[in-house]
Structure 1
Amino acid sequence: MERKKLWVIYLMLALATSTWGSAFIAGKIAVESFEPTTVAFLRFFGAMILLFPIMWVTEKHRPTPTKKDWVRFALLGLTGIAIYNICFFLASKHAPVIKSSLFIAANPVLIVVLSGLFLKEKLTKRHLIGMAIALCGAAIIISEGHVVNMLRLGFEPIDFVLLGAVISWALYSVLGKVVLQKFSSVVSTTYAVAFGTLFLFPFALAETSWTDVVQATPQTWISIAHMSVFVTVVSFIMYYQGIKIVGAAKASIFINFMPVSAVIMATVFLGESFMLVHAIGAVFVLTGVYIGTTVAKKQKNKRDVEQSGDKNVKTNG
């Protein structure tokens, strides 16, 4: 039963992070009508309208936040909602897809490090190997097999924006683990989105006019609605629940599904070519996730059996 439950959690994490890949497509469409900060605000304003009723209905007996809790929610909103999404949509508008995908795919590396430093999560050798293989797969996909050439491009100002996205999301994931010790994934996501929307509002107000709103295309509004409902509400809750059960470090491996799904969706919706190198990279990603989760679980089961055997020997003796 326990193994079946874990597979459900892993499937949930894969679905959540794969859905995030669609944000690349939706974001590209939305920034044609609005500035990046406005797109981020509209996305989370729509999500907030949905999240609060969900929280009120499903979490009637939720704990009352203390002042310290409110500070943590505010930090979640600042890092994972405001800063990350400003950086993400700036990259959608100004950075090459290859570079932006590479930086965002590097998220698990920093999350693992921060989880070890601040959460004291134990990192096994196989977990690190799985993460490395998955990251290699993501690099193969986004560079179309030309990893060395990509590394020779050097740094540009937009790269530091992308670095800000990586750092802010890593902090969000690790801090989220702390918050989830007291609050559910629904409550945590709702308050984080509320604070993030509040932080984004003044910037969106300053850079957007009513004319921009009126002239926005139907495709733009559909893209924003998709990011609000599926990329934010549904996927964030699933990802947070995954972190709560398997830990931030292990859950972070699944972020590598994001570039895989982005490539597939670009092929389907934008007519881009799906090449053999993309398939090879996808195999690496899935293999890395398998090694970093299933194999580690098998080892744990083996240790549990051995410990049980030792106890039986001592009892019989």
Structure 2
Amino acid sequence: MNRPQLTLPTILLLTTPPILWAGNAVVGRLMRDAVPPMTLNLIRWVLALAVLVPLGRAALRPGSGVLKNWRRYSMLGLLSVGLYNSLQYLALQSSTPINVTLVASGMPVWMLVVGKLFYKAPVKRRQVAGAVLSIAGVLVVMCRGDLAQLAALRLVIGDLYMILATIAWSFYSWMLMERRDAPELRADWAAFLLAQVGYGVLWSAALAGGEWALQDLRITWSWGVAAALLYVALGPAILAMRCWGAGVQRAGPSIGAFFINLTPLFTALLSSAFLGEAPHLYHILAFAMIVGGIAASAR
């Protein structure tokens, strides 16, 4: 087996998803008054589903296991498409894109917790040290850089939504490690994603239906909103997943994990350019602590 190497094409593959995911956070913030969050998530994945159907036809063939293993793919769709993305857009209603992506950067911490408690995965001391440092970075974000406020911490509701989203994604990631898929389905990225998105759209539709039933909502349509919907469907939903899968296959998941944490940096740059939300010193400190914690854990 060849040792993973970071070539220029691999670096480009692994850098593309964080840029697209950062753009997703900024777009979600920009559209908070135009499209309700659950509805935004539903429209996004319906568009993505329409693109994936011709690409992932293997998932629609008899014997693919998509119907036989409906519980597995339904849960994968719920945790990723249904919960993670909906909660992220809901978080952006009250929190900033920078804060949302920084809180999401604490995801490796939840990966360790979920793996230990539910999958009996061993945790090493270096991983614990890295987790503690990452948690400290998340706390810096939540207290807005004023450590004196930790005693009476008042969280923005969006930060709490994002924590729930990262927990959902942690369970989703561990479920992906369960090799219970048909080999041809696992080998075809579009078919494997289609199997999850198909069920995820159903969950998203249920959440969006509840959103409209509980509130008097409306969508403010414009060409800008239409363009934004196409972006979040084609970029962060499909292109980012494809680049990420190809990059991780080349470099390995341990190296790829460092690139995920470029998302807050790109989000800060995009927020400064489009939203006028310049990053503060505590954002830089929190980013350094989170990346340092993950680096210590991955060594």
Both proteins in one fold, TM over 0.5: yes
Unaligned 5+ segments in structure 1 are: 297-317
Indicate yes or no: 2:254 matched with 1:227. no
Partner of 2:276: 271
How far the C-alpha of 1:112 sits from its partner, in A, is: 2.1
User: Which is further off, 130-139 or 216-225?
Assistant: 130-139
Indicate yes or no: 2:201 matched with 1:200. no
User: Which is further off, 20-29 or 47-56?
Assistant: 47-56
How far the C-alpha of 1:226 sits from its partner, in A, is: 1.4
Q: How far apart in 2 are the matches of 1:274 and 1:243?
A: 30
Which secondary structure does the structure 1 equivalent of 2:33 belong to?
A: coil
Unaligned 5+ segments in structure 2 are: none
Partner of 2:22: 21
What is the root-mean-square deviation of aligned Cα atoms in Å?
3.9
Partner of 1:311: none
Q: How many residues align?
A: 289
Change (3 A) 1:234 1:288: farther
Q: How far apart in 2 are the matches of 1:119 and 1:242?
A: 26
Matches within 5 A, 1:1-317: 1-4=2-5, 12-56=13-57, 64-65=64-65, 67=67, 69-95=69-95, 100-101=100-101, 103-119=103-119, 121-130=121-130, 132-133=132-133, 136=136, 145-149=145-149, 152-155=152-155, 160-178=160-178, 182=183, 183-184=186-187, 185-204=189-208, 207=212, 212=218, 215-239=220-244, 246=252, 254-275=259-280, 278-293=283-298, 296=299
Q: Going by fraction, where is helix more abundant, 1 or 2?
A: 1
TM-score of the superposition, structure 2-length normalised?
0.75
How far the C-alpha of 1:166 sits from its partner, in A, is: 2.4
Which structure: larger Rg? 1
Q: How far apart in 2 are the matches of 1:66 and 1:202?
A: 20
How far the C-alpha of 1:43 sits from its partner, in A, is: 0.8
Q: How far apart in 2 are the matches of 1:290 and 1:230?
A: 28
The one-character-per-residue Cα deviations of 1:42-101 (angstroms, maximum 9, x if unpaired) are 1111111122222238x8999721655322111011111112222222211134657644
In 2, are the aligned partners of 1:21 and 1:262 still within 8 Å (CA)? yes
| Matched-pair identity in % | 19
The one-character-per-residue Cα deviations of 1:250-286 (angstroms, maximum 9, x if unpaired) are 8666543332221121112223334555455555555
TM-score of the superposition, structure 1-length normalised?
0.72
Change (3 A) 1:153 1:218: farther
In 1, are the aligned partners of 2:97 and 2:267 still within 8 Å (CA)? no
